[in-house]
Structure 1
Amino acid sequence: MKIRVKLTRYFLRIHRRIILRAARFWQTRWGERSFLVVLSILIGAAAAVAAAGLHMLVTKFEQFGIWLTEPHELHEYVWLALLLCLPMLGLFASFLVQRFLGGPRYAKSLSPLILSLSRKRTNIPALEMVSHMLSSAFSVGFGGSAGLEAPSVLTGAAIGANSAGFLNVNRSRRSLLLGCGAAAAISAIFDSPITGVLFAAEVLLPEFSVSALVPMMMSSAVAAVVSRMIARGNHFEFITEPWRTDAVPCYFLLGLICALVGVYVIKCAYFTADKLKSRFRSAWHRLFAGGGLLCVLLFLFPTLRGQGYLYIEKLFAGNLSEIASNSPLLSMLPSETMILIIVFIAVLLLKVVVSVLTVDSGGDGGIFAPSMFIGAFTGFGFARLVNLTGLFELQECNFTAVGMCGVFTAVMRAPLTGIFLIAEVTGGYILLVPLMIVSAVSFLLARIFEPNSIYRKALVENNLLDDDRDRTMLRALPVRLCLNRNYHVLKIDQPLEKLINLVEGTPEEIFPVLDDGGKLLGVVHLEKVLSVMLNPKVYGLLLVIDLMESPAGAVSPDDDLSKAMANFEKYNLKYLPVCDENGIFHGFIAKAPIFAKYRKMVREANSF
């Protein structure tokens, strides 16, 4: 124990005397901007190593899971039982990692991260730099149906946040470095640096200006280089063909279909999660009940296992026979066409279900990859159906790629991210126009049926987040930061003459009327006092209660400034009283300090 304490003190001394001094010297000598750029490069490299390593590990596990579905020397019932139980093993291992390393507030979605960033809370436990990698590797690697993008983004965000805290970076800059880690993770997974920056800008940090994205661009670019050095050609490569103008109407129609599919994904995900949590309140019960159902569904439809990128590659290559022959039960059907139809329907309807079961039953992962998986099958199925009618001859590989973009956009509400993601993973921009058409149509129509993305839906419905940038920025600050505690207290039975003497010696425009316990009974406005002062014969007979008004638009010290501004507009007031839940008066809040805080936040968001 003594050795541990001595080592801790030794490292703290090194951190304080060497590392922090070196960081301050750099900022003093070469400026804060150059320091942030260098730090973003280091964060990008670290996040790339974590994301690329995790992706490569799980890819090997996925290939092992697919190998189990192929003929081998094991007894038939043995390998079938192994195939059935592997996802439960992964969920159990992931569940233990979360329990021992994650704690009770372990986040498996980007929604808590989005909420924290909107409120300028950038403290992420250091263990999350490791816990998400281990947890998602077990759950997805052993067959669980989820994506690695959300765990990788959370890992990169944890690297960025803890690097900023370790070097004592200004709190106003920590969100930017957190975004650098998230952008680097996406860039490393897909070898797409532009997509990483756009994802961080559209999904995580929409309030940041373009100039503030420079560190994210550096971090994302470095991550792409480091990841390519590690992966060495193991990234996704989806080959497409030049698009034809006669297929443009079909791209518009595909955008409509992708919007409907994306809305189904969002609503089905929330419905499945709510049902699972309401029926099984215990985490252990959810693990075995949800995990058992997951194992059955994945056993029936092995195509739903893992992230699904291997099956997307088979779609692009046109190897439908391999997709149809991977299920030990469906292979008993006499017709390959019938098998394909069942597999396609299962992908469209059940992929989101098994993804939610994977995550909410105890595993770890995200909806990023499943949405692209569903989109690929949507685009391919649409093109194949049109081709079967004989009316058009569509390029199935192109519609597969564009379908990925359409469903992704409808689910994530990040159209630019969807466009450049597909453009970069297909190795060029020959599909840029069809991608723009499908992405725009899908984005606009999906908002009609479901206004919010899958990450923001719960936050908006619980009034924790708002799409309006001004309100979002104001929600990051509590009322207590702008509270004015300098006021003169009035009693309800005081004569008005005393108040008039007070008015002559103070610049205050509003006065609280409190009882002996400090509770707010009402307020007295200066305008009323001045109007009474014009008639000296009257005010000698009046008391404070005669001029007192009931307090309107009261807010709590813990309310956010967005609610305060809404009350200012609703009641047309210059000042709002601030009281706690027991009615105890704490002070007044005025519009001017709120505008000053807002201007400061805008300057911080626009500056780099």
Structure 2
Amino acid sequence: MQIVLLACVVGAFAGMAVTVLSNAAHLLHNYLFSLPVDVRLSGLLQLSNPTDAAIPVVGGALMGLSIWLLKRYRNRSLVDPIEANALLGGRLSIGDTLIVAGQTMLSNGFGASVGLEAAYTQTGSGFASRLARAFNLRRNDVRTLVGCGAAGAIAAAFDAPLTGAFYGFELIIGVYSLANVAPVLAASVSASLMATQLGAEQFPIEIGMMPPLTPHQYLPFLLLGLIAGLGSVGIMQLVTLVERAFLAARLHPAVRPVFGGAIVGLLALLSPQVLSSGHGAMHLFLTNHFAFWTVLAVFSLKLLASAVSLGSGFRGGLFFASLFLGVLLGNMFATVMNVISPATGIHTTMAAVIGMTSLAVGVVGGPLTMTFLALESTRDLAITGVVLAAAVVSSIVVRSTFGYSFSTWRFHLRGETIRSANDIGWMRNLTVRSMMRTDVRTVPADMPIDDFRAQFPLGSAQRVIAVDAEGRYAGMILVPDAHTTSPDISDPTVKPLLRHTETVLVQPMNAKAAAAVFEKAKAEELPVVDGLKTRKVVGLLTEAHLIRRYSEELEKAHRDLSGDS
């Protein structure tokens, strides 16, 4: 019950945070771009003044200044909710939360082609993590509450509680279980109600009525899911290529956003729909019919603007951009299909919804998250089945050809191996240092075998470690070998008995890496040294103890997931 009550508090805070952040961004847009009444920034058909194209450049300069200050005074990577839940047991710092939210607001507010969802989820999750630690909750409860913060933020932003809940399950917690369903749903509903009560400018995706779905349309829509999956892989690769191009240009990290802002500003002169998240532009393309070449041009420009914004160093994400690009992709798909096969009768809006969810699944992840977004947007249960089928096709394509969502792909580029928010931090915490024995008995490597037998009679020990004259590891001696092997006349010392002379463990190794060393060496016990160069023996670890400790931690993790404390 405690976790559910805390989840309600977290959800209410997330709703308030989304209200404040969204209103602040809208005020920035109104002030900087002189927007007409009731028009979103990306809903403009042309910029109010050509000089407005310079506003992203100013934003880039401010973003560059923040990057320079962070590198000077805080030279470490910022942690987001997925990384916190995967590696750190849900621990998020308030400092990281404020920095991510501030940089995202700055990027979006000055027109960079990024969404605010990163600021929303970071703020909700950061507050949740701090609250959970204040109440001294268990590791898995902290992770669940972090998921509640992100779920509440998405629910409040889209007025879609089920979408927010499954965002928390699939992307932040990494698993759906009976133990976390109540708190996550409570946070989502609380956040959505709070945002509505405060008059937040939520962005429900308004679709309207659509014609009935016919059986012969399933195959074309599955083809759209396949195309969206391949397209999402291309989008993620494009962002990486742009980032590498900025690196190859040898520009200082603080200068890159200025150049990125200049490119975005030039693209905005061609089409203001590239600016900011794309809420206004999505509404424009869902409620109006545009020519195929117009849609293709906006798709290309928005894709380039998003890639340049992220690749040059602006802070934000591809959540809403992928939804908008998916709408455009579905729109183009319907036009082409109705030319190739008019009998299929592909409805443009229906194709836009399926393209939206399929592309977003490939980029962001979470097939059920995007399926519920379609359901809560359309209120049409009939279309939900084909949306889920196309989303699954897209997800399979991305997993089999690429293997990452955009968030986890960014971790991969940093050298991390995270593929989801599933908790692998406990495995990294289970290090050789925490499992080794320190009562190690050593002997000189040139000790006469007769002296060794006298000092270690049968039954006194199983293994003894030999060290050289400088105290470095030389090998391991099995006591039974010393008593059953005849001394070598040419070398009556224990040197001929040494085993595993080159195989050692180091203290920072985690359980998985240590198990691989044991498997390769075919050893039951190995020494632990202080470093691969110094090779000073500091402990001993047996394979049996390693397996037992790993099994205990694995069982504990399973109990946490099932809610059995």
Tell me which residue corresponds to 1:364.
315
SS of residue paired to 1:589: strand
Query: 1:177 & 1:489 partners in 2: Cα distance?
Result: 49
The reply on whether 1:489 has 2:456 as its aligned counterpart is no
What is the letter of the counterpart of residue 239 of structure 1?
A: G
Partner of 1:593: 549
Deviation at residue 115 of structure 1 after TM alignment: 3.3
Mark the CA change 1:487 to 1:209 in structure 2 (over 3 Å): closer, same or farther.
Answer: farther
Residue 216 (structure 1) aligned to one of 184, 198, 209: 184
The 1:567–1:393 alpha-carbon spacing in structure 2 relative to 1, beyond 3 Å, is same
Secondary structure, aligned partner of 1:455: helix
Q: SS of the counterpart of 1:522?
A: strand
Shift of 1:262: 0.6
Aligned to 1:258: 228
Shift of 1:271: 0.9
Quick check: 55-64 or 583-592, which moved more?
Answer: 55-64
Q: Distance in 1 between matches of 2:396 and 2:66?
A: 40
Deviations 1:326-345 (A, max 9, x none): xxxxxxxxxxx4xx51x433
Residue 378 in structure 1 maps to residue 335 in structure 2 = no
Letter of the structure 2 residue corresponding to residue 435 of structure 1: V
Instruction: Evaluate the alpha carbon distance shift between residue 533 and residue 449 of structure 1 in structure 2; reply closer, same or farther with a 3 A threshold.
Output: same
Task: Summarize the alignment of residues 29-68 of structure 1 with structure 2, pairs less than 5 Å apart.
Answer: 34-59=1-26, 61=28, 65=33, 67=35
Show the counterpart of 2:49.
80
Structure 1 stretch displaced more, 168-177 or 134-143: 168-177
TM normalised by structure 1 equals 0.80
Structure 1 residue 265: deviation in Å? 0.7
2:153 corresponds in structure 1 to 185
Gaps spanning 5+ residues in structure 2: where? 40-45
| 8 Å Cα contact 1:115-1:464 kept in structure 2 | no
Task: Give the counterpart of 2:193 among 225, 228, 231.
Answer: 225
**Change in 2 beyond 3 A, CA 1:543/1:213:** farther
Residue in 2 aligned with 1:355? 306
Q: Name the counterpart of 2:59.
A: 90
Q: CA RMSD in A?
A: 3.3
Q: CA deviation at 1:457?
A: 2.3
Q: CA deviation at 1:317?
A: 1.4
- Indicate how the Cα distance of structure 1 residues 266 and 233 shifts in structure 2: closer, same or farther if over 3 A, else same: closer
Q: What is the rounded CA distance, in whole Å, between the counterparts of 1:185 and 1:539 in structure 2?
A: 77
User: How far apart in 2 are the matches of 1:440 and 1:355?
Assistant: 25
Instruction: Indicate conservation of the 8 Å contact 2:63/2:103, yes or no.
Output: yes
Shift of 1:409: 1.1
User: 2: CA distance between counterparts of 1:594 and 1:498?
Assistant: 39
Correspondence for 1:22: none
Which one is further off, 416-425 or 596-605? 596-605
- Code of the residue aligned with 1:88 in structure 2: it is V
Deviations 1:206-264 (A, max 9, x none): 26744234322222221122122223674312325242222111111111111121111
Number of the residue aligned with 2:465: 512
Please state if 1:442 is matched with 2:409: no
Is 1:203 aligned to residue 203 of structure 2?
A: no
Q: Is the 8 A contact 1:471 1:562 kept in 2?
A: no
3-state SS in 1 of match to 2:346: coil
**With structure 2 as the length reference, what TM-score do the two structures score?**
0.86
Deviation at 1:307, TM superposition (A): 0.9
Aligned length: 545
In the alignment, what sits opposite 1:24?
Answer: none
Q: Give yes or no for contact 2:132–2:142 (8 Å, CA) kept in 1.
A: yes
Distance 1:461 1:284 in 2: 20
Equivalent residues of 2:105, 2:119 under 8 A apart: no
Contact 2:63 2:254 in 1 (8 A): no
Deviation at 1:458, TM superposition (A): 4.4
SS in 1 for 2:114: coil
Name the CA shift for 1:116/1:235 in 2 (closer, same or farther; >3 Å): closer
CA displacement, residues 512-564 of structure 1 (integer Å, 9 cap, x when unaligned): 2223443211122x3xx324524678899842212101345533212222211
Could you tell me which residue of structure 2 aligns to residue 28 of structure 1? none
Instruction: Say if 1:470 and 1:116 are closer, same or farther in 2 by CA, change over 3 A.
Output: closer
8 Å CA contact retained: 2:59, 2:261: no
Out of 471, 475, 491, the position equivalent to 1:522 is 475
Q: Give the distance between the partners of 1:540 and 1:603, measured in 2 at CA.
A: 59
CA gap of 1:462–1:143, structure 2 versus 1, over 3 A, is: closer
What secondary structure sits across from 1:431 in the alignment?
helix
Matched, 1:480 2:433: yes
Partner of 1:29: none
2:210 is equivalent to residue 243 of structure 1: no
Contact 1:238/1:316 (8 A) holds in 2: yes
Q: Against the structure 1 CA distance between its residues 536 and 417, is the aligned structure 2 distance closer, same or farther, given a 3 Å change threshold?
A: same
Q: Distance in 1 between matches of 2:19 and 2:438?
A: 53
SS across alignment from 1:144? coil
Equivalence map 1:459-470=2 (5 Å): 459-460=411-412, 464-467=416-419
For 2:499, the aligned partner's letter is: E
Q: Is the 8 A contact 2:34 2:48 kept in 1?
A: no
Give 3-state SS (helix, strand or coil) of 2:381's partner: coil
**Is the alpha carbon distance of 1:107 and 1:301 closer, same or farther for their aligned partners in structure 2, counting shifts above 3 Å?**
farther
Alignment of 1:35-434 (within 5 A): 35-59=2-26, 61=28, 65=33, 67=35, 79-96=48-65, 104=74, 113-120=81-88, 122-171=90-139, 173-206=141-174, 209-231=177-199, 234-236=202-204, 237-241=206-210, 242-320=212-290, 337=291, 341=293, 343-389=294-340, 390-434=342-386
Amino acid in structure 2 at the alignment position of 1:603: R
Is the alpha carbon distance of 1:551 and 1:226 closer, same or farther for their aligned partners in structure 2, counting shifts above 3 Å? Answer: farther
Contact 2:462–2:480 (CA<8 Å) still a contact in 1? Answer: no
CA change 1:519–1:150 in 2 (3 A) is same
Report the CA distance shift for 1:96/1:531 in structure 2 as closer, same or farther (over 3 A).
Answer: closer
Measure how far apart 1:101 and its partner are. 8.1
* CA separation of 1:278 and 1:156: change in aligned 2, threshold 3 A: farther
- Pairwise CA distance, 1:68: 7.0
Shift of residue 282, structure 1, vs aligned partner:
1.2
1:403 shift after superposition: 0.6
- The alpha carbon displacement at 1:310 in A equals 1.7
Equivalent residue number for residue 577 of structure 1: 527
SS of equivalent residue, structure 1 residue 512: strand
Once residues 356 and 60 of structure 1 are traced to their aligned partners in structure 2, the CA distance between those partners, rounded to angstroms, is 25
CA contact (8 A) 1:272 1:353 kept: no
Query: How much identity, in percent, do the aligned residues show?
Result: 21
For residues 301 and 311 of structure 1, the distance between their equivalents in structure 2, rounded to whole angstroms, comes to 10
- Residue 493 of structure 1 deviates from its aligned partner by 1.4
Give 1:13's aligned residue.
none
Output the CA distance in 1 between the equivalents of 2:270 and 2:201: 33
Answer yes or no: is the 8 Å Cα contact 1:98–1:131 preserved in 2. no
Task: Tell me: CA distance 1:161–1:501, structure 2 relative to 1, closer, same or farther (3 Å).
Answer: farther
**1:554 maps to 2:504:** yes
The one-letter amino acid paired with 1:49 is M
Unaligned stretches of 5+ in structure 1? Answer: 1-33, 71-76, 321-336
Shift of 1:303: 1.4
Change (3 A) 1:539 1:217: farther
- After superposition, what is the alpha-carbon deviation per residue over 1:168-203, rounded to whole angstroms, capped at 9, x for unaligned? 434453222222212211111112222223223322
